[in-house]
Amino acid sequence: MKFSAQEEYGLRCLLQIAREPAGELTIPEIAAREALSTSNVAKLMRVLRQAGMVKSMRGQNGGYQLARPPEQIQLFNLLSALGGRLFGNDFCEHHTGTEGSCVHDVDCSMRSLWLALDTAVERALKGITLRDLLCSEREMGQRVGAYLDASSLEVYLRRTL
């Protein structure tokens, strides 16, 4: 499973703003801190603004700031705005093979698996906020480990499937 560069970089840009004591950064400042092109950051900030994650401030001292406090920004909503779900309703339409529709559209065990995994990821991401990511790598590992230990995920998948 992979997250796209847009999701990764968009999240990193938002974290830069959340970490900024002044609460506001310009596109060139974000780009420099993340070693990204200003055009890429501009594109990401446009997506984040349209999703209601950031507000843009115009003028000479303009920049971007969070639209809501970090504890009110769920990773699920953020990643959905940047890239969408792991398994969407149209997933099977894109994996049809040589036919016009999937040959497994009536009874598909894989669809149940992807749906269960998507639901588990959604549940986890709804429990993590941007505020949670403002901690150290070690602290985040402990939080995620406590929240999503392997046995609880396994039990959840068994019940769902």
Phi first, then psi: give them for residue 49, nearest 5 degrees: -70, -45
* 14-18, 39-43, 120-124, 154-158: least confidently modelled range: 154-158
Q: What is the pTM of this model?
A: 0.77
The domain spans of the chain are: 1-68, 85-161
Average pLDDT of the chain to the nearest whole number: 82
DSSP-based three-state secondary structure for 148: coil
pLDDT of residue 118: 81
Instruction: Give the CA distances from residue 120 to residues 88, 146, 148, 156, in Å, rounded to whole numbers and listed in that order.
Output: 14, 15, 10, 8
Residue 56, number of CB atoms within 10 A of its CB: 15
CATH, domain range 1-68: 1.10.10.10
Confidence band for 103, pLDDT divided at 50, 70 and 90: low
